[in-house]
Amino acid sequence: MESSRFIILLLLITSFQAASSSLHTNTWAVLVCTSRFWFNYRHMANTLSLYRTVKRLGIPDNRIILMLADDMACNARNSYPAQVFNNENHQINLYGDNVEVDYRGYEVTVENFLRVLTGRHDSAVPRSKRLLSDEGSHILLYMTGHGGDQFLKFQDSEEIQSHDLADAIEQMREKKRFKELLVMVDTCQAATLYSQLYSPGVLAIGSSRKGQNSYSHHLDSEVGVSVVDRFTYFTLAFFENLDIYSNASLISLFQSYNPALLMSHADYREDLFSRPLHEVPVTHFFGSVMEIVHTDSMFDGFKGYEGSPKSCNVLRKGANCNRVAEQNIALHGNGLSSIQATEVSPTRPLESLLQELDDELAVHIGLAGLVAMVLLSSRLYAKK
């Protein structure tokens, strides 16, 4: 009898933990544009496009490290001052008011990039410029710029080698800075940059194989340069109709790249990754659920008693609930011709039970109820 009660208690606790872990609330992104100069406009647009995508899917700014090597928005040749676009209709300014750049200009160096990954900062570096991940984190590392066989150029003046990246990621693993890490590279001969990786739990994908170039997608005649690369363009197209609760897998993303459209062969490496790709949702790396409790008063605990605040409503929201999606990319012709605002209203599995409770309080109440039930049943059993 006692053993059966213990088993029931253990199963219920496990189910609470499983429900909590499935929300994947510990997702981080490091997004890096390594190129300077006006003719590399598309590399900044690549990075900002992915930045807006992961934000739309729920990763907050305090868990995104954004590194932009040049400020194309303020370049004197920009016909749209203080704006950056990735399409010809110019409906969405990628460089809007809600962009938080952590490293800009000459701050984007190989040294600072490696310090972000390994956490080896000077004491004066603020928390907003640090990757504060832990052993339970899923991290997306996106890099775009000019590269070659086993290197990626920074600022057109220095390079990071494939073994430098591999050693930095191994330091991250030894310091327990991630659980799983996805490396995504959009550059020429991208696959060679992650060829030296040897740390378990790491997955990598690149826009091209050794000996292949990566190409831009289309030219904006008003801006005067190419505004997005093909690999990033079709990555954005894949995420067009997804939200945080979509169940699209990583293998579906990897297999979505058409060599005829990319003009190169997208390459991915999974030998260091333990889970089957068809079982891993893309949102484990590109999205996050953040539980936010909105209250009208700090005395919310007294709600319902006489003299309590009249309107003290607790509302649970996920990262995308009632949020208007800022970027919904639709393929049309040669460009991302239309970006539509859509309201995302996902279904939540525990919403009906936890309508006005946050997860931690629900767990405490549930466990307290279980303990009371066990004690009561023990007394009844003792009387018999």
Which domain, by its residues, includes 205? 25-287
What CA–CA distance (Å, rounded) separates 118 from 199? Answer: 14
Residues 175, 40 share a domain: yes
Does 336 fall in a domain?
A: no
Q: Is residue 326 part of a domain?
A: no
Question: pLDDT for 234-274, tens place per residue?
Answer: 999 999 889 888 889 999 999 999 999 999 999 999 999 99
How far, in Å, CA of 183 to CA of 362, rounded? 36
- The answer to whether position 337 is within a domain reads no
Residue 215 near residue 263, CB atoms below 8 Å:
yes
Q: Give the per-residue pLDDT at 365.
A: 73
- Please tell me the predicted confidence (pLDDT) of residue 18: 42
Based on the domain organization, do 247 and 224 belong to the same domain? yes
Catalytic residue among 188, 217, 218, 284: 188
Same domain membership, residue 276 and residue 360: no
C-alpha distances (whole Å) from 30 to each of 54, 61, 132 are: 11, 11, 11
Instruction: Check whether residue 259 and residue 126 sit in a common domain.
Output: yes
State residue 307's pLDDT score: 43
Does residue 146 have an active-site annotation? yes
Same domain, 235 and 97: yes
In this structure, are 296 and 278 located in the same domain? no
Contact 181, 169 (CB under 8 A): yes
Predicted pLDDT at 363: 62
Number of independent structural domains in the chain: 2
**Low-confidence residues in the chain, pLDDT < 70:** 1-23, 290-364, 377-384
Q: Do 29 and 138 share a structural domain?
A: yes
- pLDDT, residue 370, reads 75
Same domain, 259 and 161: yes
Of 265, 287, 309, the domain-final residue = 287
Quote the pLDDT of residue 367.
74
Instruction: Note whether 260 and 301 are same-domain residues.
Output: no
Domain identity same for 276 and 139? yes
Catalytic: which of 90, 146, 312, 321? 146
33 is annotated as an active-site residue: no
